């Protein structure tokens, strides 16, 4: 941590995080768990209560499990027995076109232990509004002694002077100014990112996609209606879609009782700030297909049609993460999940460098690894937006006639296919990889092809460590150490001592875990596997002879140039 003049530096941190959304909070937790002095600035005095993200992907839940609060998150949002179906209607009270049935939170807890193949995982997804997840993240971050959450404070300027970062801050009401000094700063400050603008980095990609739906300016209302479930004559769903020529919309249930968020796309000439509450309610009634009043709790606007990734994620001691580094169309539910994974990736690396065991290539690997992932994930999200949004409802879709029925059958086929394409994505969530990263020690094998809906478990270095339920019912992940882990498989595993000696010499925290089950050895196809703190396979092999070289590279001591042929 930087020292300094206490007048100019009222509260220093080793890391200053700008932004208290999911990315900033998760990063604060990763750093705080490692006792890194961290200051998080959030300009909002009170967190937003407008629900935006609705889906926590399985991989994000696995990270919450690693940190010990997955169950706390799974207990929030919808009631435990509430189905998480995705259902498509012409209008919510008219014809149901398609439905993809998915388990409740309670069922998810049970069935995950029985799944293999693509869904071989420690956790399944959890359909929960971002407001509830952020509550948990905030509680977890606030409980960490080395983390200082400064809500109602904003970053106004920042400079990297080579030795440290100077961050100018002020209270959101302008009543007080201060200066912070830190070793590193991270802009997790959302789509408008002042940090990204300050660094002069543009987003690169597509920003104005036009589609019949999910391509344009969106208008959203958070509504309360205790009667809505009575009025909709179909089984409950988590996500309700309306498909018609007048008012397309999607509407996730927020609490499974009486709160929903209704999102529709504005037409040419419709301006969000000119829409009265009465008009907003009429929009909702158009999608409902029935007369019913609702209470409007809040309203918001957002843009669908972004596929954007920042041209750089780092400049010197300043980093970007989350929406500040990439903007999605929310199809597939990947924006917040990608933001959380940025924080996971950067958190252990910053801590390792600050503690002295991370080498010079470690921080640079953040951009190498996460920018490629952001391009991949934003591209997948665009594909989902095209699949749902380029579909144009035919004129006869709502007709009570044979041609109407035929049109609904065809629409049903499309949306039954689409729902599985967009909402069953183990390949995206588990299959993200860091091939070519300077801190991954490749073994010459090729990973399985990247597919959105299929995940092939593989211990090919650079990807998520394949998951396994052990004979005693534990998740393999629950046996891993918090930093690096050396897994030893088989009844007579190779000697771990060269790794342990080298790790000790470097001050690198290493846990050795022995797993005798043949199934585990078969899954990993090696006797020894080195797992990173973010559960990515760093290396696999059958002997410890190269332990020094392997640990050096995995902890960022490899010269960047020599890592790329
Ligand atoms: C309708 C909708 C549905 C969505 N659904 C999903 C979904 O299902 N799944 C999914 O993964 N994603 C979804 N997303 C995307 C998700 O909401 C975002 O990707 C996510 O919030 C990004 O988190 P973040 O922490 O990077 O940024 P943000 O959540 O935007 O947080 C940034 C924070 O920085 C603060 N800030 C800004 N400037 C400053 C400053 N100068 N000083 C201090 N603080 C500052 C802001 O107040 C804000 O709190 C959805 C988005 C929308 C709009």
Instruction: Quote the ligand 1 centre to 550 CA distance (angstroms).
Output: 37
Residue 6, pLDDT > 80, answer no
1 confidence band (pLDDT: 50, 70, 90): very low
Which residue's CA is the closest to the ligand 1 atom numbered 1? Answer: 52
Cα–Cα distance for residue pair 495/488, rounded to 1 Å: 9
Residue 116, pLDDT > 70, answer yes
Residue 414, pLDDT > 60, answer yes
Strands 249-252 and 239-242, bridge-based pairing: antiparallel
pLDDT at 565: 34
Our CA angle for 412, 416, 419, nearest 5°, is 130
Q: Per-residue pLDDT tens for 78-94?
A: 999 999 999 999 999 99
Six-digit token string for 409 = 């059958």
10 confidence band (pLDDT: 50, 70, 90): very low
Q: Is the CB of 55 under 6 A from ligand 1?
A: yes
Using alpha carbons, list the distances in angstroms from residue 80 to 63, 123, 178, 363: 21, 15, 45, 40
pLDDT at 558: 74
Instruction: Quote the ligand 1 centre to 189 CA distance (angstroms).
Output: 8
Give the residue from 48, 54, 336, 325 showing the smallest Cα distance to 187.
325
Instruction: Quote the ligand 1 centre to 190 CA distance (angstroms).
Output: 5
Strands 15-18 and 184-187, bridge-based pairing: parallel
Q: Per-residue pLDDT tens for 501-527?
A: 999 999 999 999 999 999 999 999 999
Residue 306 burial (CB < 10 Å; 0-12/13-18/19+)? buried
Cα–Cα distance for residue pair 223/262, rounded to 1 Å: 7
Using alpha carbons, list the distances in angstroms from residue 484 to 123, 148, 331: 21, 27, 34
Q: What is the 3-state secondary structure (H, E, C) of 505-560?
A: HHCCCEEEEEECCHHHHHHHCCCEEEECCCCEEEEEECCCCCHHHHHHHHCCCCCH
Six-digit token string for 544 = 């410890």
Q: Is the CB of 50 under 6 A from ligand 1?
A: no
Q: Is the CB of 19 under 6 A from ligand 1?
A: yes
Ligand 1 atom closest to Cα of residue 195: 41
Instruction: Quote the ligand 1 centre to 244 CA distance (angstroms).
Output: 30
Which residue's CA is the closest to the ligand 1 atom numbered 53? Answer: 52
pLDDT at 12: 67
Which residue's CA is the closest to the ligand 1 atom numbered 14? Answer: 53
**Mean pLDDT (the chain, rounded):** 95
Helix (H, G, I), strand (E, B), or coil: what is residue 42? strand
Cα–Cα distance for residue pair 228/243, rounded to 1 Å: 18
Six-digit token string for 217 = 């300016």
What b-and-e string marks burial along 416-430, b requiring 16 or more CB atoms within 10 Å of the CB?
A: eebbebbbbbbbbbb
Q: Is the CB of 225 under 6 A from ligand 1?
A: no
Q: Per-residue pLDDT tens for 540-563?
A: 999 999 999 999 999 999 744 443
Q: Per-residue pLDDT tens for 453-484?
A: 999 999 999 999 999 999 999 999 999 999 99
Q: Is the CB of 252 under 6 A from ligand 1?
A: no
13 confidence band (pLDDT: 50, 70, 90): confident
Give 15's strand partners: 38, 184
Give 151's strand partners: 42
208 confidence band (pLDDT: 50, 70, 90): confident
> What is the arrangement of strands in the sheet containing 203-206, beginning at the earlier edge strand?
203-206, 307-310, 326-327
Is residue 459 within 8 Å of residue 440, measured between CB atoms?
A: no
Instruction: Quote the ligand 1 centre to 544 CA distance (angstroms).
Output: 44
Instruction: Quote the ligand 1 centre to 21 CA distance (angstroms).
Output: 6
Q: Per-residue pLDDT tens for 271-312?
A: 999 999 999 999 999 999 999 999 999 999 999 999 999 999
> What is the arrangement of strands in the sheet containing 528-531, beginning at the earlier edge strand?
510-515, 484-489, 528-531, 537-541
What is the H or E stretch that residue 168 is in? strand 165-171
532 confidence band (pLDDT: 50, 70, 90): very high
Q: Per-residue pLDDT tens for 344-361?
A: 999 999 999 999 999 999
Q: Is the CB of 24 under 6 A from ligand 1?
A: yes
pLDDT at 407: 98
Q: Is the CB of 42 under 6 A from ligand 1?
A: yes
pLDDT at 563: 39
Q: Is the CB of 305 under 6 A from ligand 1?
A: no
Q: Is the CB of 342 under 6 A from ligand 1?
A: no
Residue 3, pLDDT > 50, answer no
Cβ partners under 8 Å of residue 159, min gap 6:
165, 166
Residue 379, pLDDT > 60, answer yes
Largest CA distance in the chain: 80
Is residue 496 within 8 Å of residue 502, measured between CB atoms?
A: no
Ligand 1 atom closest to Cα of residue 220: 1
Cα–Cα distance for residue pair 523/98, rounded to 1 Å: 37
Q: Is the CB of 530 under 6 A from ligand 1?
A: no
Percent of the chain with pLDDT over 70: 97
Q: Best of 26, 155, 189, 340 to mutate for ligand 1, by most ligand atoms within 8 A of CB?
A: 189
Q: Is the CB of 190 under 6 A from ligand 1?
A: yes
């Amino acid at each position: 941590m930087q020292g300094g003049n206490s007048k100019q530096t009222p509260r220093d941190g080793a890391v200053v995080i700008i932004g208290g959304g999911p990315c900033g909070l998760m990063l604060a937790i990763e750093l705080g768990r490692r006792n890194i002095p961290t200051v998080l600035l959030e300009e909002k005095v009170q967190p937003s209560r407008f629900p935006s993200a609705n889906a926590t992907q399985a991989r994000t839940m696995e990270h919450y499990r690693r940190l010990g609060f997955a169950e706390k998150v799974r207990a929030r949002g919808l009631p435990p027995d509430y189905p998480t179906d995705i259902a498509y209607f012409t209008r919510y009270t008219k014809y149901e076109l398609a439905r993809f049935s998915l388990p409740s939170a309670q069922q998810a807890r049970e069935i995950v232990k029985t799944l293999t193949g693509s869904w071989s995982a420690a956790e399944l997804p959890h359909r929960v509004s971002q407001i509830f997840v952020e509550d948990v993240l905030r509680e977890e971050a606030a409980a960490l002694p080395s983390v200082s959450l400064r809500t109602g404070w904003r970053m106004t300027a920042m400079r990297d002077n080579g030795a440290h970062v100077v961050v100018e801050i002020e209270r959101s009401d302008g009543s007080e100014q201060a200066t912070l000094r830190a070793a590193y700063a991270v802009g997790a400050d959302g789509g408008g990112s002042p940090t990204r603008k300050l660094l002069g980095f543009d987003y690169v990609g597509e920003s104005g996609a036009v589609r019949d739906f999910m391509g344009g300016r969106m208008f959203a209302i958070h509504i309360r209606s205790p009667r809505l479930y009575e009025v909709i004559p179909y089984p409950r769903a988590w996500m309700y879609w309306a498909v018609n020529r007048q008012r397309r919309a999607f509407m996730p249930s927020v609490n499974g009782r009486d709160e929903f968020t209704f999102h529709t796309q504005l037409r040419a000439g419709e301006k969000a700030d000119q829409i009265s509450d009465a008009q907003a309610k009429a929009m909702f009634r158009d999608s409902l297909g029935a007369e019913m009043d609702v209470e409007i709790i809040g309203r918001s606007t957002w843009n669908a049609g972004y596929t954007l990734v920042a041209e750089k994620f780092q400049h010197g001691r300043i980093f970007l993460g989350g929406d500040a580094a990439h903007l999605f169309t929310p199809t597939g539910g990947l924006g917040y999940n990608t933001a959380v994974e940025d924080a996971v990736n950067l958190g252990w690396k910053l801590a390792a460098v600050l503690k002295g065991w991370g080498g010079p290539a470690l921080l640079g690997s953040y951009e190498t690894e996460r920018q490629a992932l952001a391009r991949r994930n934003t591209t997948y999200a665009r594909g989902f937006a095209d699949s749902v949004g380029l579909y144009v409802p035919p004129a006869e879709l709502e007709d009570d006639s044979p041609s109407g029925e035929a049109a609904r059958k065809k629409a049903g086929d499309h949306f039954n296919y689409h729902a599985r394409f967009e909402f069953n994505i183990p390949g995206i969530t588990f299959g993200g990889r860091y091939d070519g990263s300077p801190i991954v020690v490749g073994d010459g094998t090729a990973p399985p092809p990247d597919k959105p809906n299929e995940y092939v478990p593989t211990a090919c270095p650079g990807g998520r460590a394949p998951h396994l339920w052990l004979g005693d019912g534990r998740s393999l992940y629950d046996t891993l150490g918090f930093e690096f882990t050396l897994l030893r498989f088989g009844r007579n595993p190779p000697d771990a001592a060269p790794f342990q000696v080298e790790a000790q010499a470097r001050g690198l925290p290493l846990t050795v875990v022995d797993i005798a089950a043949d199934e585990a050895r078969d899954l990993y196809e090696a006797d020894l596997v080195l797992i990173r703190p973010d559960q990515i396979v760093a290396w696999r092999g059958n002997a410890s002879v190269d332990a020094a070289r392997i640990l050096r590279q995995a902890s960022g001591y490899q010269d960047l140039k020599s890592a790329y042929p």
